[in-house]
Amino acid sequence: MLNRQVEEITGGEISAKAMGVSLSVGLACAMGIAMLRVLTGLSIFWFLVPGYAISLILMLYVPDIFASIAFDSGGVASGPMTATFMLPFAIGAAKAAGGNVATDAFGLVAMVAMMPLITIQIMGVIYKIKLKVAKEQVVVYGDTEVIDLWEV
């Protein structure tokens, strides 16, 4: 539903398929970062603080509707999929690696909620650039010019 709404709002400039792919890549990156944390024991703050800072900075450059959709989709993406699939996987990986489950697997939900914020807002920046390019390509004719619609 989210993908179709974005396609409708942008007038087809950003397709539902492009949104689906970007969200999938974002969630895959979140899972990869979470597994990197599990294996190395790095602090979650090294990932969350810059990620949320990027998403807040992007809010200044995207249309308001994209910021709204991004923050809404962060909650949607982090709910059912994270609780049923990703969190048990991270807990199992932390146990298998010999780490502390409470600290290493902690933060996966926040990481997964952060990535749609960034990916959808990047799509908003792309939309804004496409809109600007389209406006620059518009040809304005004067009142006295003859416009030939058919070429012979």
Instruction: List the chain pLDDT tens, one digit each, 152 residues.
Output: 778 887 887 787 778 888 888 888 888 888 898 888 888 888 888 999 999 999 999 999 998 888 888 887 777 777 777 778 888 888 888 888 887 887 777 778 888 888 888 998 998 898 889 888 888 877 676 677 666 677 65
Give the model's pLDDT for residue 60.
92
Q: According to the model, what pLDDT value does residue 51 have?
A: 92
**What are the structural domain ranges in the chain?**
2-134
Structure-block tokens of residue 123:
């799509």
Query: Cα(16)–Cα(18) distance, rounded to whole angstroms?
Result: 5
The Cα 4–Cα 34 span in angstroms is 29
Torsion of the alpha carbons at 36, 42, 48 and 51, rounded to the nearest 10: -60
